[in-house]
Amino acid sequence: MDFSFTPEEEAFRLELRSWLEENLPEGWVDGGSNLEKDSKEYELFLRDWQRKLHDGGWAAIAWPEKYGGKNASLMQEIVYHQEMVRVGAPPLVNYVGLHMVAPTLMHIGTEEQREKYIEKILTGEEVWCQGYSEPNAGSDVAAIQTAAVKQGDKWIINGQKVWTSFGHMADKCFLVTRTNKFEKKHKGITCFLLDMHQEGVETVPIIQMDGEHDFNEVYLNDAIATDAEIVGEVDEGWRVIIALLMHERTGIGAQVFTLEKQFNELVELAKTLKEDGVPVIEKQMVRKNMVDLYMKSRGSLLNYYRNLTKALKNGQPGAEGSMDKLLVSELTKELFANSISLQGHQGVLWKEDAVAKDSYWQDQYLYSFGQTIGGGTSEIQKNTIAERILGLPKDMGR
């Protein structure tokens, strides 16, 4: 198999690399941002970064040119992800809008919705979150209870969402509701484009075990939406949900490049840490673990390329994205568990007491558990792989 890139793709890489050298925030490569993640200043920093990406034409390269993209090929997207990981570029504050909401509107939304929302998603003027999970409906989205009831020319929405990423920054929410009850629970679901800045929406932070605030609870108390804010058809939202999730799983697969970089950082950590004056990488068990991790991470990358090849042939992403998501999230957790083990007793130290990279490894280890949940749990990914790729019978327990 040929893993090389074409001259055109390498030229694209050099173009992006040159732009990043000129436009990354000052001092970013050396130290990143010193802003507190929960601060308004950090949110404004991320919005400014997305605006800069937009102005340079790099915010959504795969989008059609008429929507502000570059109509980039799938291979150019791969180059893009590789370069962004290489420099550790700032995260996208509007990840949900760029990678999930806007592509879904392009395929399923009305022309009015495209004109109203897509450009503001691209510029970062409007940040989006995703209202799927509920206290009693996590991976099983069809079990949602948040209700939308038609009253005159408006829909009145009541319920609760949980684990809402970017909810505290969001201007809009891609909201999944129950509008009817049928024998099949996948019917009677409707998707809305909800305004988060209204009186009936309350956002409450969830503080994670790493001390950070990435997720939120969202309470809907007589929140209001209109027919113009419905995506697809009333009661037929399941088709919309599936379309959006396909885009989400595709984005998650690109994390294989981040995993590759993190493995290399782990090797450097093993060279730096010493036990009895000897670098821990000299220990036989450590070297064995490193080889195991390398084989798994390399296998994950090759599997991603295989799935990418299929997507190139079919012209669209498929269920194989679940394989990438499962492998990367579980392997990420294993990699950071190894990083804690390498540090021995010092591995339990945190923040300013940590001896390696200001508790980077501890922070990432704690965060890695959430990666096996967000975007669909590992158990759900296994079911998808079993049913839609291997052709096994459905899980009768569901």
Concatenating the DSSP letter of every residue in 91-109 gives PPTTHHIIIIIHHHHHHHS
What pLDDT is attached to residue 29? 76
Q: From first to last of its 398 residues, what are the pLDDT tens digits of the chain?
A: 677 899 999 999 999 999 999 999 987 877 667 777 778 899 999 999 999 999 999 999 989 999 999 999 888 989 999 999 999 999 899 999 999 999 999 999 999 999 999 999 999 999 999 999 999 887 788 899 999 999 999 999 999 999 999 999 999 999 999 999 987 888 999 999 999 999 999 999 999 888 888 899 999 999 999 999 999 999 999 999 887 776 654 555 568 999 999 999 999 999 999 999 999 999 999 999 999 999 999 999 998 888 888 877 876 667 888 888 899 999 999 999 999 999 999 999 988 888 777 789 999 999 999 888 877 789 988 998 999 889 999 876 55
Q: Which residues are CB-neighbours of 311 under 8 A, at least 6 positions away?
A: 74, 250, 317, 318, 320
Q: Does residue 42 sit in helix, strand or coil? A: helix
What pLDDT is attached to residue 268? 96
- The active-site residue, picked from 115, 248, 265, 282, is 248
From residue 151, give the alpha-carbon distance in Å to each of 154, 180, 198, 199: 5, 14, 18, 18
CA distance 247 to 254: 12
Q: Which residues are CB-neighbours of 67 under 8 A, at least 6 positions away?
A: 60, 102, 106, 114, 118, 119, 122
Q: With 0-12 CB in 10 A as exposed, 13-18 as middle and 19+ as buried, what is 94?
A: buried
* Structural domains of the chain, ranges and CATH numbers in brackets: 7-93 (1.10.540.10), 128-240 (2.40.110.10), 255-389 (1.20.140.10)
Helix axes 74-87 and 7-23, enclosed angle (nearest 10)? 40
What pLDDT is attached to residue 251? 56
Q: Which residues are CB-neighbours of 159 under 8 A, at least 6 positions away?
A: 134, 144, 145, 146, 147, 177, 220
Q: Which two tokens stand for residue 30?
A: 């050396």
CA distance 261 to 248: 22
Which residues does residue 189 pair with via DSSP β-bridges, in sequence order?
A: 178, 236
What pLDDT is attached to residue 247? 63
Contact 180, 205 (CB under 8 A): no
Contact 167, 214 (CB under 8 A): no
What pLDDT is attached to residue 252? 56
CA distance 268 to 282: 12
Q: Does residue 390 sit in helix, strand or coil? A: coil
Q: Does residue 166 sit in helix, strand or coil? A: coil
What pLDDT is attached to residue 242? 82
* Among the listed residues 124, 118, 46, the one whose alpha carbon sits nearest the alpha carbon of residue 89: 46
Task: Mark out the alpha helices in 57-146 (DSSP H runs).
Answer: 74-87, 95-96, 102-108, 111-113, 119-123
What pLDDT is attached to residue 96? 93
* Among the listed residues 76, 225, 68, the one whose alpha carbon sits nearest the alpha carbon of residue 156: 225
What pLDDT is attached to residue 1? 63
Tell me whether residue 233 is one of the annotated catalytic residues. no
